[in-house]
Structure 1
Amino acid sequence: MTDSLTRVSTTTSAVLLATTAAARLTCADGTLLDRINDQLATLPVRDVQVVPPGAGLGADLRSVAKIARLSSGPVVVLPADLVAHTEALALLLEHPARDTGALVCFDVMAAPLRPPVQVERGRIVAAGSSFHEVPDANATFRGVLQAGEADLGTLADIAEELAELADTGKLGPVSPVEAVDLLLVGLVRSGVRVRAATLGPLHCDRITSQHSADAAVTRLAEVDETRVRLDTSVKSEDGFFATYFVSSWSRYLIRPAARLKLTPNAVTGISIGMAVLSAIWFSEGTRLSQIAGGLLLYLSFVLDCLDGQLARYTRTFSPLGAWVDGMADRFKEFVVYVGLAFGYTAGLGNPDGIWYLAAAAMILQVVRHSVDFSYSGAVADSGRIGAAWAKPRRSLLESADGGRYGVPRQGMLRLAQRMERESVTRYLKKMIVLPIGERWALIAITAAVFNARVTFLSLLAWGGVAALYQLAGRIARSSR
């Protein structure tokens, strides 16, 4: 599914903390500072502000605060003693949301330069430093933090507060090496939503010695960044049908499509054409035409997945592209419903209420999508209101994190989250809600093997169960 139209605007600013001696260690590209500076030049960064060694942690944090207040776009803060894949930095700097996020790795080997964090549902809910503990850590922070434009004021306030605490000795023996770690702690404890950008097989490590610098650079060469970029272009948390019957081979179309300079929106257009041809074949009403229609519908869905994969691979994004993709999905599905209804009438010579079934299936899908979008909008609105009015949820002076944020989970939510940990139950959970992959597979198979009446009855039965499941889940989450 496409997310794109044009490349992200290059308005991100970078604050490069060259405040440790390790930043001046050497590598093939000069110093580590030179290396990271050269990498930032290849990414959508407007300017790089280098903070040299100064009067201490407080001064460094005040420099970050000043830059955050003057910036008109996202600000990424990172240390100059970093050895990382360029693709790892791009996980934050080229993400379409341009939101607040941090690079993390799912390991539990916390160390002074790898502070512990707790990640839940793609969000960092607790972060640590030498002063702040995370009892239930399941990942480590790797030193790269980005603040979205909406959170720049909060970042500046936190940096100034931390600077004051550091100068007065209230944070204990913290040092300039922990500046980024402390900023992450502050953002998380202030209730800011911090996206966890996971490294996967990529590397991003802070360096303390020449030996570790040489070893880290050698490790970078062991990973094929191009292959990783291709792999991460394919959704890792997609539905069962999309994962095993589409993405397992559509990934091999991404590079050819990129070489042909096809845009994601062009692929979306081809997908629409396939769906219209599918509807035309369905409208013939013969068994052969039903099979042909089902095959074309499957290929249309393949292209529907490919446009999003191509968007992520080429990193060309825009809200218009996402809107076009969503509207195209609804149009394709409903035009196929019409084709099926016409074909059933043509094949039997008797409508037998088929149009009522088609209309009911359309209405059910509209209601289901309304539930999803209205809930997502309500969550976004409440998040904005909370960010504007809520006080920090935890004091920066608390040395122990105290566990998870929020109220205890309810039974239904605990069950759903337990299901997420097992691959079989995770896919069953995804299939229950009848996502677009399973829905189009259901249409294609039932139309090719049976007829449109069976297709619509199947959509109404499965879709009804899915609607009840979605409503129950939304109510449970809303009552947390």
Structure 2
Amino acid sequence: MPQSSPRPDRPTLAEYRAIAQPPEVRARRSAEHWVADLYLRDLSPYVSRPLVRLGLSANAVTYVMILTGWAAAGALLIPGIAGAVVGVVLGQLQMLLDCSDGEVARWRNTFSPVGTFLDKIAHYTTESLIPIALGVRAAGGLGDLDGHYGWTTLGALLAVVILLNKALNDFVHVSRTFSGLPRVADSAETAAPRPGLVARLRRIARFVPFHRLYHSVEMTLLVLVAAVVDVVAGSAWGGLAGTRTLLVVLLPLSVLAVVGHFVTILASSRLRA
């Protein structure tokens, strides 16, 4: 691991941002989630800078991020709107910590494969546990699973499809490495499919970006909306009309997202020298 370069003991916010939030990081195609652009990057230095002063490493912050994501999924097991609200808050907190661990790493100039590995663990596990929790909610909760295993099965299937969709990007890097090719550039030009039918369909899909629904932030927000619908709809569909409808809609859309992602990768230059 590289040695940390000298830094001011008590940097000003401007000094800290210049190193922890360089423009080239936020300019990467897949670097920022929309909530990070909207407000979390404005808040994250107020979290990561104190963590630096406390002596926490970037990996330590990532461990906390992992636990926060798991807690967000676990909160969804609490019935009703209360559990959904807690899930949303924890989902936002996980993204705030996701911003913060990278800032700590850049400030300390400490980067390693361990950090990347832990970040993958955080997102893969959280974004598979949330649909499983959604399936349990649709079944009526942990205390009412008997006779409702169809809903938990749908939640588990959704989790598998989401994992596959996330893994496709990693498959690209693995395939290039095994073929002796350099790491592919993280740019819109590289990811874009060659001119043709796939490129046209991809442009159309931008107007209905349902493939973005499967991040922990979006999923917890959708669960909250569904919980509100459950209350408004009353006893319809076992008092879970919103939650069950959400699960039924998300599963086929996730399959469509995987197929589109797969075809787009093959039609792009990402697997070519």
* TM value normalised by structure 2: 0.68
Q: For this pair of structures, how many residues does the alignment match?
A: 232
Give, in whole Å, the separation in 2 of the partners of 1:414 and 1:228.
40
Picking from 223, 226, 235, the partner of 2:26 is 235
Q: Are 1:475 and 2:266 counterparts?
A: yes
Within 5 Å, which residues of 2 pair with 1:20-419? 226-232=16-22, 235-237=26-28, 238-347=32-141, 349=144, 351=148, 353-384=150-181, 410-412=194-196
| Bigger share in helix | 2
2:186: which partner in 1?
none
Against the structure 1 CA distance between its residues 312 and 466, is the aligned structure 2 distance closer, same or farther, given a 3 Å change threshold?
Answer: farther
Distance 1:383 1:9 in 2: 29
* Contact 2:128-2:162 within 8 A present in 1 as well: no
Question: Which residue in the other structure is 1:449 paired with?
Answer: 225
More strand by share: 1
Q: Which moved more, 1:280-289 or 1:375-384?
A: 375-384
CA deviation string 1:237-260 (max 9, x = no partner) = 323333224324224322222112
Contact 1:279 1:339 in 2 (8 A): yes
Distance in structure 2 (CA, Å) of the matches to 1:375 and 1:327:
18
Q: Secondary structure at the match of 2:79?
A: coil
Aligned 8 A contact 1:285 1:345 in 2: no
Query: Whole-Å Cα distance in 1 between the matches of residues 45 and 160 of structure 2?
Result: 34
RMSD: 3.8
Q: Read off the aligned partner of 1:434 and give its amino acid letter.
A: R
Contact 1:278 1:292 in 2 (8 A): yes
C-alpha contact 2:41 2:99 (8 A) present in aligned 1: yes
**1:153 matched residue in structure 2:** none
- C-alpha separation between the residues in 1 aligned to 2:171 and 2:95? 25
Q: Which residue of 1 aligns with 2:189?
A: none
Q: Contact between 2:87 and 2:220, CA under 8 Å: does it hold in 1?
A: yes
Contact in 1 for aligned 2:91/2:220 (Cα 8 Å): yes
Unpaired stretches in structure 1, ≥5 consecutive residues: 1-6, 11-41, 44-85, 87-223, 386-408, 420-424
SS at match of 1:316: coil
Quick check: 1:283–1:344 contact (8 Å CA) kept in 2?
no
Shift of 1:351: 2.5
User: Counterpart of 2:268 in 1: which secondary structure?
Assistant: helix
Residues 284 and 433 of structure 1: is their aligned pair in 2 closer, same or farther, counting only changes over 3 Å? closer
Between the aligned partners of 1:291 and 1:261, the Cα distance in structure 2 is 32
- State the shift of 1:305 in Å: 2.8
1:412–1:476 Cα contact (<8 Å) kept = no
Deviation, 1:288, is: 1.6
Residues 345 and 433 of structure 1: is their aligned pair in 2 closer, same or farther, counting only changes over 3 Å? closer
Question: Structure 1 residues 290, 227: CA separation in 2 closer, same or farther (over 3 Å shift)?
Answer: closer
Deviation at 1:383, TM superposition (A): 4.2
Question: Higher Cα Rg: structure 1 or 2?
Answer: 1
Structure 1 residues 413 and 355, CA gap change in structure 2 (3 angstroms): same
Structure 1 residue 230: Cα displacement: 3.1
How much has 1:307 moved relative to structure 2?
Answer: 1.5
Q: In structure 2, how many angstroms separate the alpha carbons of the residues matched to 1:319 and 1:279?
A: 26
Aligned partners of 2:68 and 2:91 also within 8 Å: yes
The alpha carbon displacement at 1:326 in A equals 0.8
Counterpart-to-counterpart distance in 1, 2:222 and 2:245: 7
Please give the TM-score of this superposition, normalised by the length of structure 1.
Answer: 0.42
Deviation, structure 1 residue 453: 2.9
Cα distance change of structure 1 residues 236 and 253 upon mapping to structure 2, 3 Å threshold: farther
Q: In 1, are the aligned partners of 2:62 and 2:115 still within 8 Å (CA)?
A: no
Aligned partners of 1:308 and 1:261: how far apart in 2?
A: 15
Q: Per-residue CA shift, 1:2-47, capped at 9, x if unaligned? A: xxxxx4169xxxxxxxxxxxxxxxxxxxxxxxxxxxxxxx68xxxx
Residues 95-139 of structure 1: per-residue CA shift (max 9 Å, x gap) = xxxxxxxxxxxxxxxxxxxxxxxxxxxxxxxxxxxxxxxxxxxxx
